[in-house]
Amino acid sequence: MAIAVAGPEIERLIQLLARLPGLGPRSARRAALHLIKKRDALMGPLAAALQVAIDKIQVCKTCGNIDTQNPCTVCTDPRRDPSIIVVVADVADLWALERASATNGRYHVLGATLSPLDGVGPDDLTIDALVARAHDPAVSEIILALNATVDGQTTAHYVTDLLQDANVKVTRLAHGVPVGGELDYLDEGTLSAAMRQRTLF
């Protein structure tokens, strides 16, 4: 049986840190020790930031993004193109597209992808709200920016079927060779998709 080397408060901190993605028990111990050593510079401001997040962060009623205002910063930005809605599965995907400055459109966060094995069905996603937004006359294109996984593609097909009667163009992200990718290292599915979606040079 392991002997406790710290009080229950420190052990609790380690246990909570270990729940974060990418942190196991050893990494959580290192992170906790670093926070404790830098208590004034890191732990205090981090605790304050977490409290502000608890108090002020909310889900945007329009798109599903998280922000401190509702509607969110993206939805209220007048420079955004209201005719384009980019559909993503999760807020992390929205943030990734924003980091890349990949689009000037607005977003719609589904909350997940359809996954019968995980018990995620259409009622668990914000698909109805997306369909309602797609029927807005100002919207002309829906971009399905969903993962190239079985669940992502299933969700894309399901959403496309529901948007048949909306007067919008439905597109999806291209799949294929990544920038800087070498053909020899790519899987067969990626190579096939790249060949099917080839473009003029």
SS3 assignment for 19-41: CCCCCCHHHHHHHHHHHHHCHHH
Residue 146, SS3 per DSSP: coil
For residue 62, what pLDDT is reported? 95
Question: How many angstroms separate the CA atoms of 85 and 18, rounded?
Answer: 36
Question: How many angstroms separate the CA atoms of 38 and 1, rounded?
Answer: 31
- Quickly state the pLDDT bin for 16 (edges 50, 70, 90): very high
Residues 107/65, Cβ–Cβ less than 8 Å? yes
- Quickly state the pLDDT bin for 3 (edges 50, 70, 90): low
What tens digit of pLDDT does each residue of 114-156 get?
A: 998 899 999 999 999 999 999 999 999 999 999 988 999 999 9
Residues 105/81, Cβ–Cβ less than 8 Å? yes
Question: How many angstroms separate the CA atoms of 92 and 178, rounded?
Answer: 20
What tens digit of pLDDT does each residue of 33-89 get?
A: 999 999 999 999 999 999 999 999 999 999 999 999 999 999 999 999 999 999 999
Residue 74, SS3 per DSSP: helix
For residue 71, what pLDDT is reported? 95
Q: How many CB atoms neighbour CB 43 within 10 A?
A: 16
